[in-house]
Structure 1
Amino acid sequence: MTDPVSRPLAGIRVVEFASFVAGPSSGMALAQLGAEVIRVDPIGGNADYRRWPLSEATGASLYWTSLNRGKKSVSLDLRSERGRDLLLALATAPGPDAGIVVDNAVGRRWFSYEALTARRADVIAVRVEGRADGSAAVDYTVHGDAGVASMTGPADTDRPVNHVLPAWDLLCGQEVVTSVLAALRRRDRTGQGSHVQIALSDVAQAAVANLGWYSEAAERGPRARHGNHMYGAFGVDFAAADGGRVMVVVLTPRQWAAVGAATGTVDVFVALEASLGADLQTDEGRYAHRDVIEAVLKPWFAQRTSAQVADELTAAGVLWGPYRTTADVASDFVADPSGRPVLTSLDQPGIGAVISAHAPTRWESSYSGTSPAVELGSDTDRVLSEVLGLGGDEIAALRADGVVG
């Protein structure tokens, strides 16, 4: 595992004043890269402090403790003038590697870019918004509006199908990380701060546009659904004799040859090409005749167990993958942690043993390591002392007045 001192962002301080997924996921990513990330919450926790899933053993939020690993935690009464002043002071503290803040505090004028620059002209402020006009949006509302939910699901329904993964939130979080690093690079070169705004809806629509999907729709109208079939190439799921399912994908001529070799269907498809007048050596040909190809291959899978399917597809060099439940993955990891090396077991205070993860990036071939989320507000005294230079008596007075948690 990478030594924390040698990580690329060691020495950088980021103040995170954000809730839910996009902002906190960016803070966690920055912390995994070595930054000191100070998360600031209202006393008692922000709106996401009790978000599901919860631990059955203790009732603590598995979500919150997972997304806030490796951060310091400060809790302040942000309804009070003094509490707000402390947050502003932390966000604009001096130092060449400080003055960096990530937030989603839309509508809080006291935490505006102008309020931050009044204290530090070269502050780097990255704000996550719902929409570019400042109105509210979350991953589920953005997903539907971007058009993707209407492309997803079985062919025999016209109901939109939501995605369980908050993909736009996670992608937005990585846009935040990129923006922080780019702004820091600019400040290092020019001394100039940055005011960065990232709207979740913009992230989703830009991603869909960058795939060419809106241009396609402008030319052809809405794309027809076809369940688990890939679009524009051959790929679909198959059921084995024991009920296990696998996804098979063909993107190259070599992969198509491997499917034929594994399943013994080379001659069948040669004959089909002649009778259909099709070229199954191309993505277009395979996509156009995907239902016929699926029908030919289906019996081969149905006659074999999942283990046999895995062995024979792998031996032939087929591009494939199994369908697993999250419980399957957890069980796999417990049985053999080496098989899923990005995952790791972690003792999370307040919960116990949890399945955590390293950063997926490996530096010098090493994973980052991981650390638990600390108790809400547990670093308040130390951060106020080390960053703002407050003495013990001052902190005690703030606590007596209910300003700090």
Structure 2
Amino acid sequence: MNVETPRPSGTGPLRGIRVLEMGQLIAGPFCGQLLGDLGAEVIKIEDPENGDPMRQWGQATVKGSSLWWSVLARNKKSVTLNLRTPEGQAAAATLAESADIVVENFRPGSLEKWGLSHEELSKNNPGLIMLRVSGFGQTGPYSAQAGYGAIGEAMGGLRYVVGDPSTPPSRVGVSIGDSLAALFGTVGVLAALQERHNSGLGQVVDSAIYESVLGMMESLVPEWAEDGIQRERSGSTLPKIAPSNVYPTADGQWLIIAANQDTVFRRLAAAMGNPRLADGPEYSTHTARGERQAELDELVAEFSLQFTADDLVELLNENSVPVGKIFRVEDMLSDPQYKARRSVIEVDSTDYGTVTMQNAFPRLSRTDTTVRWAGPELGQDTEAVLTQAGYDRGALTDLRDKGVIR
């Protein structure tokens, strides 16, 4: 695909919204991905030399391009600009004049140093909304520190409670801190868009990674502050929530069984052939089951080991007990639910031919989310976007000669 190839328009609810993405790695760009999936036009600014480092991240590459990049940069246009040059800063400011949203996740103060702060950009575009994603937020004594997702996960309380109690604090197997900051940032952007209908004005959305993690930590804070209870690592369970765990099967698999609600546990007891288990004081209430979590898990495990995974899933589904296999990707690709909803799709790509990836979520009944193309080649939309912004061929040649664009 070259710069002359027309891009398919989005059909989602954000069709007509223009986003200027100036971040890199995950926290800012994941927000750009979400907005693009929702139909926005996302113009991603990349350094002309190497582009976003995410082009090389991940465990698998094709022709030197990361498969992770194909997902994170989908539905985006790639424009190269060296933001550390006056010419690049001027071009970015010009693009911001027609943007609805700017997304950035540089260290706080960077945009101010480049003359690209919200205060400056909004002089020519009062309705501009700027999402600023950072480790610690734009204010406070830590704001100027480097704040990667891992640090935010630790500071927000997640790392301490993840893992087995016999091991050091663990991490979730994906970049959850960055992704949560992008999700909270996206919610803030959508709220700011709605508010703009009333005021006509934009504003800054300040999404800190540690606060985004903290926002997901349930009752962790009041449990300690009001009752002195520190939640600890608990492996595959949640304390006092029983039975809700992974249980072994006769064919060496593990199933999730979640029967901690009173009515559901009664149905599980019936499926186990022991309906009276739900009648006695030891297990009849949520609180009682929580107090006897370990012994109840042993009973359920003894039951689950009598069946193969498929047979146990069938039995528990017949009894309306929530149960599920622990999916790997190969399970997803063959699963009928995934197929029926097209949860995984194939997307055309110049680098990969086609690439299989997760679809766009959530689903909307009338203006649905879509994946229009995979992550673009570096700078492939530079000329088209800057020409639309008023740069003629001579100006583009000058920028190229100076190394401002690629």
With normalisation by structure 1, the TM-score equals: 0.88
Tell me the distance in 2 between the aligned counterparts of 1:76 and 1:327: 40
**Aligned match of 1:380 in 361, 365, 382?**
382
Asked if 2 retains the 8 angstrom alpha-carbon contact of 1:245 and 1:306, the reply is: yes
The AA in structure 1 aligned to 2:88 is: G
Distance 1:357 1:226, change over 3 A: closer
Asked if 2 retains the 8 angstrom alpha-carbon contact of 1:260 and 1:266, the reply is: yes
Q: Following TM superposition, by how much is the alpha carbon of 1:257 offset from its aligned partner in structure 2, in angstroms?
A: 1.5
Other structure's SS at 2:79 match: strand
Distance 1:291 1:75, change over 3 A: same
Residue of structure 2 equivalent to 1:220: 228
1:358 aligns with 2:359: yes
Q: Which has the higher mean CA deviation after the structures are superposed, 45-54 or 242-251?
A: 45-54
1:242 aligns with 2:251: yes
Tell me the distance in 2 between the aligned counterparts of 1:195 and 1:217: 33
**Aligned match of 2:159 in 132, 139, 149?**
149
Residue of structure 2 equivalent to 1:308: 311
Asked if 2 retains the 8 angstrom alpha-carbon contact of 1:36 and 1:71, the reply is: yes
Other structure's SS at 2:178 match: helix
Kindly report which structure 2 residues correspond to 1:4-403, keeping only aligned pairs within 5 A, or say none: 4=9, 6-43=11-48, 44-55=50-61, 57-93=62-98, 98-106=99-107, 107-108=109-110, 109-110=113-114, 111-132=116-137, 133=140, 134=143, 135-157=145-167, 159-208=168-217, 211-218=218-225, 219-234=227-242, 235-268=244-277, 270=279, 273=280, 277-278=281-282, 280-330=283-333, 332=334, 338-339=339-340, 341-364=342-365, 368-370=369-371, 371-386=373-388, 388-403=389-404
Asked if 2 retains the 8 angstrom alpha-carbon contact of 1:248 and 1:321, the reply is: yes
Asked if 2 retains the 8 angstrom alpha-carbon contact of 1:358 and 1:367, the reply is: no
Distance 1:171 1:67, change over 3 A: same
Q: Deviations over 1:280-329 (max 9, x none)?
A: 22211111112221222222211211111111111111111111223433
Distance 1:306 1:207, change over 3 A: closer
Distance 1:366 1:318, change over 3 A: farther
Asked if 2 retains the 8 angstrom alpha-carbon contact of 1:122 and 1:187, the reply is: yes
Asked if 2 retains the 8 angstrom alpha-carbon contact of 1:342 and 1:367, the reply is: no
Distance 1:99 1:227, change over 3 A: closer
Residue of structure 1 equivalent to 2:3: none
Q: Percent identity?
A: 27
Q: Which runs of 5+ in 1 are unaligned?
A: none
Tell me the distance in 2 between the aligned counterparts of 1:73 and 1:67: 12
Tell me the distance in 2 between the aligned counterparts of 1:73 and 1:290: 53
Q: Following TM superposition, by how much is the alpha carbon of 1:344 offset from its aligned partner in structure 2, in angstroms?
A: 0.6
Tell me the distance in 2 between the aligned counterparts of 1:12 and 1:378: 21
The AA in structure 2 aligned to 1:285 is: A
Distance 1:366 1:238, change over 3 A: farther
Other structure's SS at 1:321 match: strand
Asked if 2 retains the 8 angstrom alpha-carbon contact of 1:126 and 1:176, the reply is: yes
Q: Deviations over 1:63-96 (max 9, x none)?
A: 2221010011101122321112101211123xxx
Distance 1:290 1:304, change over 3 A: same
Tell me the distance in 2 between the aligned counterparts of 1:347 and 1:53: 21
Other structure's SS at 1:347 match: strand
Q: Following TM superposition, by how much is the alpha carbon of 1:339 offset from its aligned partner in structure 2, in angstroms?
A: 4.8
| CA-atom RMSD in angstroms | 2.2
The AA in structure 1 aligned to 2:27 is: A
Other structure's SS at 1:89 match: helix
Tell me the distance in 2 between the aligned counterparts of 1:36 and 1:351: 23
Asked if 2 retains the 8 angstrom alpha-carbon contact of 1:22 and 1:172, the reply is: yes
Asked if 2 retains the 8 angstrom alpha-carbon contact of 1:228 and 1:236, the reply is: yes
Tell me the distance in 2 between the aligned counterparts of 1:362 and 1:91: 30
Tell me the distance in 1 between the aligned counterparts of 2:22 and 2:212: 20
Q: Which runs of 5+ in 2 are unaligned?
A: 1-7
Q: Following TM superposition, by how much is the alpha carbon of 1:6 offset from its aligned partner in structure 2, in angstroms?
A: 4.1
The AA in structure 1 aligned to 2:52 is: N
Q: Following TM superposition, by how much is the alpha carbon of 1:104 offset from its aligned partner in structure 2, in angstroms?
A: 1.1
Distance 1:124 1:213, change over 3 A: same
Tell me the distance in 2 between the aligned counterparts of 1:195 and 1:224: 36
Distance 1:341 1:5, change over 3 A: closer
Residue of structure 1 equivalent to 2:5: none
Other structure's SS at 2:152 match: helix
Distance 1:79 1:6, change over 3 A: closer
Q: Following TM superposition, by how much is the alpha carbon of 1:146 offset from its aligned partner in structure 2, in angstroms?
A: 2.2
Tell me the distance in 2 between the aligned counterparts of 1:195 and 1:403: 27
Tell me the distance in 1 between the aligned counterparts of 2:292 and 2:367: 45
